[in-house]
Structure 1
């Protein structure tokens, strides 16, 4: 029982997201190929690490694009929620790849720091400058959707960190060209990797919470129970679950013990009031209530499997 308060032009919005992702994928494929060739020719580990990061961007953007397409598929008897969690799963995969790439970069940076090599800095400078422009454009394409969608945020963070990495590589290229500080290449690679781990862990933690059906951080479950208990007709609220299905849906289910043996129409009126309250106060837009009267169960247990 319950209804959805979410009303927006999801189809048009998803199409726009899909087009922006396609443009970002194309740009990053071009950057990756150019940086791999340039990194090999110049001998720059930081440029190759940036290329590796860009390649992870390509993978993450493709995963995000597929997830975005899957969310448009309708629910079925076998998939009653459809593919609404595809984008959360994509965010989890993308965050994991960020951390794995970062660990590989740290290993290579340590090896190179102990054995610094002369690097063709001109090629590093030009290719990093091109990467900054291309990634900057991709970041602008995804920035708006990154504020409200975890999948798009994961793709956005991939591109943003890569743009920052390219800025660092550009600075390193200038230092190598004018001051012959070739060890800077390894230091920059290490710094980029640490930043990737920090960003990746934050996103991985949030995606894991959603996949594990944890109560959202901003939902005070005990307070909600107390507030619903305060409704005149309600005696007790127990066996409560609150979880986030995806970026747009927060669900609440609970058993409610009533003071009297009310009619179905009376229950519908109370349910409507509960729905309006939790939606307006906590953005919970799916409510499922099991009504009870005189049922012999544990009324003092708020949360139970």
Structure 2
């Protein structure tokens, strides 16, 4: 039996979809300009930034598709609908962040061993264009980045790319005034390390949700102890708690009662449990199996 809460996310999803579409168009333009500029100038940092921008385009498209899918209604064949589409998009996008970072590290090491003279003027102007374009996209997505993994993954792609462009700009200025050609490789390496750090946390969190792990902030032991204070509950066992998406946390458990209660009594107790776990632990969907005198494993966690 579940505790349902009505939330209207359609307006937010419409805004997210529009902002993602604007960001996709901007990043396609930036990527094209940086590829041409990187080839003409010989700048690895600019080409690496273009590669990252291309990954941004791919990640934004994935996020946009997930944003559309999540609004599809549940059906007999898809009882949860596409509620996990955005979590899956976040996992894919976090993975691409790390893959791109590894490619950049390899290229940076190779170029550092063989530094090349670079046309710094072109690097500077194109990095400024990228900073402005990505900066605008970052502002569009920032509002929903804290409470939506999908939007956060797109936001992180754009934020790290904007910072990468800032690094490219600094490198271009140093090359122009001081002819420090190896700075291009060093900055590329630094950008790549930053991508790994930013991508890992999102990859880990989205993986936890996809694997049905207990949310990190949720204590099963504390929840069980609280539920067992309700009379006439004797034991809470066979517990599963998982996060379906960023709006839904589900609890499934078996309750062993000290007496053979009626169905109407169970409904009253169920309402108490629903209010308890929702108000104290933000769990908004529960499924309880009542038991009396049933033999079997009564451990909190039972391997199915």
- TM-score of Structure 1 vs Structure 2, range by shorter chain: over 0.9
Q: Number of paired residues?
A: 304
Displacement over 2 Å in runs of 4+: 300-305
State the distance in 1 between where 2:120 and 2:212 align: 49
State the distance in 2 between where 1:9 and 1:25 align: 26
State the distance in 1 between where 2:33 and 2:302 align: 55
State the distance in 2 between where 1:166 and 1:69 align: 30
Question: What residue ranges of structure 2 are gaps of 5+ in the alignment?
Answer: none
| 1:198, distance to aligned residue in structure 2 (A) | 1.1
Structure 2 counterpart SS, 1:289 = strand
Partner of 1:268: 267
Partner of 1:249: 248
TM-score, length of structure 1 as denominator length: 0.98
| 1:238, distance to aligned residue in structure 2 (A) | 0.1
Structure 2 counterpart SS, 1:19 = helix
Equivalent pair of 1:57/1:155 in contact (CA under 8 Å): yes
Partner of 1:150: 149
| 1:301, distance to aligned residue in structure 2 (A) | 4.0
State the distance in 2 between where 1:73 and 1:204 align: 25
Pairing of 1:156-167 with structure 2 (within 5 A):
156-167=155-166
Partner of 1:54: 53
Pairing of 1:121-132 with structure 2 (within 5 A):
121-132=120-131
Question: What residue ranges of structure 1 are gaps of 5+ in the alignment?
Answer: none
Partner of 1:234: 233
Equivalent pair of 1:241/1:303 in contact (CA under 8 Å): no
Pairing of 1:33-182 with structure 2 (within 5 A):
33-182=32-181
What CA deviation, in whole Å up to 9, does each residue of 1:206-260 have, x standing for no partner?
1110000000000011111111011121010000000000111000000001111
- RMSD between aligned residues: 0.8
What CA deviation, in whole Å up to 9, does each residue of 1:150-208 have, x standing for no partner?
01000000000000000000000000000000100000000000111111111111111
